[in-house]
Structure 1
Amino acid sequence: MPPQVAEDVPKEKMTPMNLHNDPPKGSPSETDTEQQPALENHTRGPPPPPDGGLFAWLQVAAGFVLFFNTWGLVSAFSAFQTYYESGELFDASSADISWIGSIQCFLLQLTGVVAGPIFDRGYLRLLIITGSFMIVFGHMMLSLCTEYWQALLAQAFCVGIGAGLLFVPTVSLIPTWFSTRIGLAIGIASSGSSLGGVIYPIVLYRLISRIGFPWAVRCIGFIALATFMVPLAALRMRVRVPKPRAIVDWSAFRDAPFMLFTLGVLVCFIGQTALLFYISFYPADRGFTDTSLAFYTAAIFNAGSILGRILPNALSDRIGVFNTIAPFTMLLGVTMLCLLGVHNAAGMIIEAAVTGFFSGVVVALPPVCFRVLTENKSMIGTRIGQGFAIGGLGLLAGGAGAGAILGTVDPLHWTGLWVYGGVTACAAGLIYVCVRVMKSGFVLNIKT
């Protein structure tokens, strides 16, 4: 009698359908197949930006306020430098005083290494709350300072870190809401730093003589506290990263155009810091203006940069961001060298307005450039934070180097200072030209 083999084998394995058509264990089932479109939409990337609308422009308005209280405070440091130089609060050399501003600027950029990935993980509101608190708290502590090291901790470290927690999320968020008008959007938002650079020096100067330095600084803190209500209410994330990523994008170090542009930002910031810190103290020390007009020089400088942040950014949407930033950066270096020919108040006012215009360009356009150089748009937060952290080394070196060149013995070495600033800005412009050539070659009529 033949053995009953068929009875020992499961029936489902005896059918041809199961022998040839059933998927092996662990393969996608019909249910998995039905879920594939949703998964593909999730991994395909974010939907295209709305490029306008109420919520998009609310992000620009909120970004305007954040720039007002981050780069705006940095832009106003020349007024603090001028006051500290008087020795009424503490005695310190120009180089030592410039370390306060340099560290503040550097931490604004360096903190982006941490703030960028945190933003990518969706913790926007945590960054806004923490950064806002640190800026307000830092100014309240600065109002109590009577020694150099105290001002260094309060203004350089506390305010600098707080500003860094706000800056990178701002320039990372706005590009996710705009496409064709991204340059204009970031230009309008970044003009908030220019307005801050106009208002804060005037507030400081007008109030110091009336209520003293402590309450003048507290008023700055209260202004920041009130205006921070706008981004807390309006900022919204449109795109969330599907999974956490590393704090550093190591592939960026193999991206030659990205790294070369980052080097250009670093070199440019060296020259710009010299201008930013000493545009107000220069005419006062040389006797071109009285103390009052010297404080207002900082306001004139930042008023000029309002147009410098909006008009060239709008132009970049038409002719290309690298076609815009390269020539304007070189023009910044040339106008800084022209400061050597200034000998009166009228010339100083014109120079403050012109250099302010070109200075606005080199602050407003780099975020757009970083976006263009980032192929994976979901890595914008990490890439911008990483790029600005490296570029921030220029801010750290620029102020301290400028103070060392200036010296401590009268007459101060202003010629060396402006040559230092002008040459580095021109060099940065040439680096941007190289990046442009790497992207599009030597053809001039290409939008790059």
Structure 2
Amino acid sequence: MFATATTKMTSKTLSPTGTDAGAPTYATDNEGNISDQSTATGIPSPSRASSEKSSPLAAPPTTTITNAAPHAEKQPTGPPTGGPPAGAPGGAWNASPPPPNGGLAAWLQVASAFFIFFNTWGLLNTFGIFQTYYESPSSIFQPPGSVSSSNISWIGSIQSFMVLLGGLISGPLYDRGYLKHLIVVGAFGVVFGHMMLSLTKEYYQALLAQGFVVGLGAGMMFTPGVAVLQSYFSTKIGLATGLAAAGSSFGGVVYPIVFYRLIDRIGYGWSVRVIGFIALGTLAVPVVFLKQRVKPGKVRAFVDVTAFTDGPYMLFTLGCFVGFIGLYTMLFYLSFFGLDTGATNPAMAFYIVPILNAASMFGRTLPNWLSDKAGPFNILIPGALVCGALTLAMMGVKGLGAIVVVAILFGFFSGVFIALPTVCYIVLTKDKSRLGSRIGMGYAFLGLATLIGGPGGGAILQQTGHGGHNWTGMWTFGGIMLLVSGVLFIVLRGWKFGVKLTTKA
């Protein structure tokens, strides 16, 4: 009886917080030894559960009390590195500290991601000036007009497609811890591709160098470059991603101006090589500083099949897909529109792209900063609708002033399509260990939209219309796609977060 009484008095369950039923529990025996009685999630240990069922002499249930023994305060109090952020499941998050949301290491990741955007989307945003040059009398494709607008747009479309398709490979490899390898290989592809592009004389050579080599190299870097930020930021993820995405706008300003200012002085070949050298210098930053802070505890498949049954994820991807189709009609052809219709002189036509991208720099930072407070979907929806309205408004644009105004407004509002999808994928992905795979899958699907937007718009443009080009048909095509995208985002917001306008979504 004395032994039994002692057991009842000393056997007790210790919780790290004293009251949290979901935390690890410990019990002390008669000699004061502490033993783990559950897993980190509060589920009873299988070995203990089975022993209690099989043994008829199993000890009676322990009595839970709130006053732990003094010596127990020095014992482990659950996972020493903290729990996951709100809404995140177990996995790697349970084995690592929460995101620091600041500090030198975290902001170095933002700087590294900035230069990845600079040399991925920044190069994609530059293609409008290549489209204009390739269609000019001084083009490397001789005789002038020997390559159609639609065929030229395939170069930029395939480049964009390879950037987004590359995420299907780089996302899972990032999950497996190969971040450095991806950045080094991707940087080599971007630089080498431009060196080969500088030597091209034929259409197929430019398609291979600029479309496939540069595009795939950028694709190896893009998804890991944005996925790494979510392990350093949680409450400031929108701001961090927006600052990084501003690199694409900065690249879209620098590269076109470099190309235009140098091409008459040193020729096409060396102008393209200078772009390659700029890429080499700026990509040294992520090669040196980009670091994977958290590795998923479980290796994921290259394709996350659970995504196909995730309704909000699929609807969001479809909305972005339709939006990207409309987006590329404006990005590829706005500069050429001014030159073709006589609204701008050749010099000013080349500056339309930098003007658009300069405005886009603010459109990829301010909306993302607001998304931390209002929610990414509340910012993405008006951005898509305004872009659609501006594209349709191009049917009435006649002079240089109107083109510049549209370029500024479209550049600002279109920034949400580049900066916010990653934030939205983070919000829609509950299991953060699947994030790399899901971002890669999503962007690979969006890559198909670039194959429709550029060449599709070019095919419509080649139809007989005013001035030999059907600009009205092309702007209608792009504008409707963007408006449909905005409607799909509205449906998703109502489905996922409700229809109340004041809800953060």
TM over 0.5: yes
**Structure-2 residue corresponding to 1:284:** 339
Tell me whether 43-52 or 335-344 shows the greater mean CA deviation: 43-52
Contact 2:297–2:433 under 8 Å retained in 1: no
User: Aligned with 2:365: secondary structure?
Assistant: helix
Output aligned runs, 1:252-401, within 5 Å.
Answer: 252-401=307-456
Counterpart residue type for residue 398 of structure 1: G
Q: For residue 21 of structure 1, report the CA deviation from its aligned partner.
A: 6.4
One-letter amino acid matched to 2:492? V
- Tell me the equivalent position of 2:224: 169
Residue 109 of structure 1: aligned partner: 164
Question: Deviation of residue 107 (structure 1)?
Answer: 0.9
Question: Counterpart of 1:225?
Answer: 280
Q: Which amino acid aligns with 2:114?
A: F
> Using a 3 Å threshold, how does the CA distance of structure 1 residues 251 and 293 change in structure 2: closer, same or farther?
same
Query: What is the DSSP-based 3-state SS (H/G/I as helix, E as strand, rest coil) of the residue aligned with 1:210?
Result: helix
Q: Distance in 2 between matches of 1:288 and 1:38?
A: 65
More divergent stretch after superposition (335-344 vs 94-103): 335-344
- Which residue in 1 is equivalent to 2:64? none
Matched residues in 2 for 1:72 and 1:379: separation? 27
Q: Give 3-state SS (helix, strand or coil) of 1:279's partner.
A: helix
Question: How far off its partner does 1:270 sit?
Answer: 0.1
CA distance in 1, matches of 2:211, 2:397: 31
Q: Taking structure 1 as reference, are residues 20 and 46 closer, same or farther at Cα in structure 2, changes over 3 Å only?
A: same
Structure 2 contact 82–97 (Cα < 8 Å) conserved: no
Tell me the distance in 1 between the aligned counterparts of 2:82 and 2:266: 62
* 354-363 or 82-91, larger mean C-alpha shift: 82-91
Q: In the alignment, which of 458, 467, 470 is matched to residue 413 of structure 1?
A: 470
Q: Which amino acid aligns with 1:72?
A: G
Whole-angstrom distance in 2 between the partners of 1:238 and 1:187: 20
The question of whether the paired residues in 2 share the 8 Å contact of 1:336 and 1:422 is answered with: yes
Percent identical across equivalent pairs? 52
2 CA distance for matches of 1:171 and 1:156? 22
Q: Aligned match of 2:140 in 78, 86, 89?
A: 89
SS at match of 2:156: helix
| Aligned-partner residue type, residue 319 of structure 1 | A
Q: TM-score, normalised by structure 2?
A: 0.81
Partner of 2:3: none
CA distance in 1, matches of 2:463, 2:483: 27
Counterpart of 1:189 (choices 244, 269, 283) is 244
The whole-number CA distance in structure 2 between the counterparts of 1:84 and 1:367 is 33
Indicate whether 1:73 and 2:130 are aligned. no
Q: Which amino acid aligns with 1:345?
A: L
Query: Which residue is equivalent to 1:441?
Result: 498
Classify the secondary structure of the residue corresponding to 1:76: helix
| Shift, 1:441, TM fit | 1.4
Q: CA RMSD in A?
A: 2.0
Query: Which residue type is aligned with residue 445 of structure 1?
Result: T
The whole-number CA distance in structure 2 between the counterparts of 1:297 and 1:315 is: 27
Query: Which residue in 1 is equivalent to 2:293?
Result: 238
Change (3 A) 1:47 1:415: same
Q: How does 1:10-159 map to 2 (within 5 A)?
A: 20=57, 43=91, 44=94, 46-87=96-137, 88-90=139-141, 91-159=146-214
Does structure 2 retain, via aligned residues, the 8 Å contact 1:94–1:408? no
User: What SS does the corresponding residue of 2:468 show, helix, strand or coil?
Assistant: coil
Shift in Å, 1:124: 0.6
8 Å Cα contact 1:74-1:105 kept in structure 2? yes
**Corresponding residue SS for 1:280:** helix
Number of equivalences: 421
Distance 2:502 2:79 in 1: 42
2-side partners of 1:45 and 1:402: how far apart? 49
SS at match of 2:453: helix
Give the Cα–Cα distance (whole angstroms) in 1 for the partners of residues 322 and 192 of structure 2: 32
Of the candidates 293, 298, 303, which is equivalent to residue 248 of structure 1?
303
Q: Which has the higher contact order (CA 8 A, sep 6+)?
A: 1
Q: Which moved more, 1:214-223 or 1:171-180?
A: 171-180
Residue aligning to 1:9: none
For residue 423 of structure 1, the aligned residue among 453, 476, 480 is 480
Offset at residue 19 of structure 1 (A): 9.0
Equivalent pair of 1:168/1:381 in contact (CA under 8 Å): yes
User: What is the TM-score with the length of structure 1 in the denominator?
Assistant: 0.91
Supply the AA of the counterpart residue of 2:442. Answer: G
**1:47 CA displacement:** 2.8
Deviation digits for residues 284-325 of structure 1 (CA, Å, limit 9, x no counterpart): 001011111000000000001001001111111111111110
Deviation at 1:243, TM superposition (A): 2.8
What is the rounded CA distance, in whole Å, between the counterparts of 1:304 and 1:39 in structure 2? 42
**Are the aligned partners of 2:250 and 2:361 in contact in 1 as well (CA < 8 Å)?**
yes
Question: In 2, Cα distance between the equivalents of 1:184 and 1:217?
Answer: 33
More helix by share: 1
Tell me the distance in 1 between the aligned counterparts of 2:364 and 2:339.
27
Cα distance in 2 between the residues matched to 1:115 and 1:325: 26
Alpha-carbon distance in 2 for matches of 1:86, 1:236: 43
Task: State the distance in 1 between where 2:490 and 2:225 align.
Answer: 27
Give the C-alpha shift of residue 137 in structure 1.
Answer: 0.4
1:84/1:256 CA distance change after superposition, 3 Å: same
Q: Deviations over 1:142-200 (max 9, x none)?
A: 00000000000000000110010010001101111111111111001000000000011
- Answer whether contact 1:93 1:408 (CA < 8 A) is retained: no
Stretches of 4+ moved more than 2 A in 1?
A: 18-22, 36-47
Structure 2, unpaired ranges of 5+: 1-54, 60-75, 84-89
Contact kept, 8 Å, 1:188 with 1:310, in 2: the verdict is yes
